[in-house]
Amino acid sequence: MPDTTPPSTPSSTMPPQPSNKPPQASDSAVRDILIGVSGASGMPLAACLLRCLSAMPSVQVHCVISQGAHAVLHTECGAGPELLTPYASRVYDAADLGAGPSSGSWWRRRGTPAAMILVPCSMGTLGAIASGATRNLVQRSADVALKERLPLVLVTRESPLSAIHLRNMLTLREAGAVIMPLSPGFYLNPQTLEDMLLHMCGRILDQVALPHNLGRWPG
Give per-residue pLDDT as tens, 50-85: 999 999 999 999 999 999 999 999 999 999 999 999
Whether 13 has a binding-site annotation, put simply, is no
Q: Is residue 8 part of a domain?
A: no
Whether 124 has a binding-site annotation, put simply, is yes
Q: Is residue 15 part of a domain?
A: no
Q: Is residue 20 part of a domain?
A: no
Per-residue pLDDT at 12: 44
pLDDT digits (tens, 9 = 90+) for 110-134: 989 999 999 999 999 999 999 999 9
Q: Is residue 95 part of a domain?
A: yes
Mean pLDDT score of the chain, rounded to an integer? 90
Q: Is residue 182 part of a domain?
A: yes
Whether 1 has a binding-site annotation, put simply, is no
Whether 66 has a binding-site annotation, put simply, is yes
Whether 157 has a binding-site annotation, put simply, is yes
pTM value is: 0.87
Q: What is the number of structural domains in the chain?
A: 1
| Domain span including residue 99 | 31-207
Whether 123 has a binding-site annotation, put simply, is yes
Whether 203 has a binding-site annotation, put simply, is yes
Count of CB atoms situated within 10 Å of the CB of 151: 18
Strands (E), 11-151: 31-37, 59-65, 90-93, 115-121
Question: Helix, strand, coil: what percent of the chain each, to 5?
Answer: 40, 15, 45
Q: Is residue 21 part of a domain?
A: no
CATH number of the domain encompassing residue 119: 3.40.50.1950
Q: Is residue 116 part of a domain?
A: yes
Q: Is residue 93 part of a domain?
A: yes
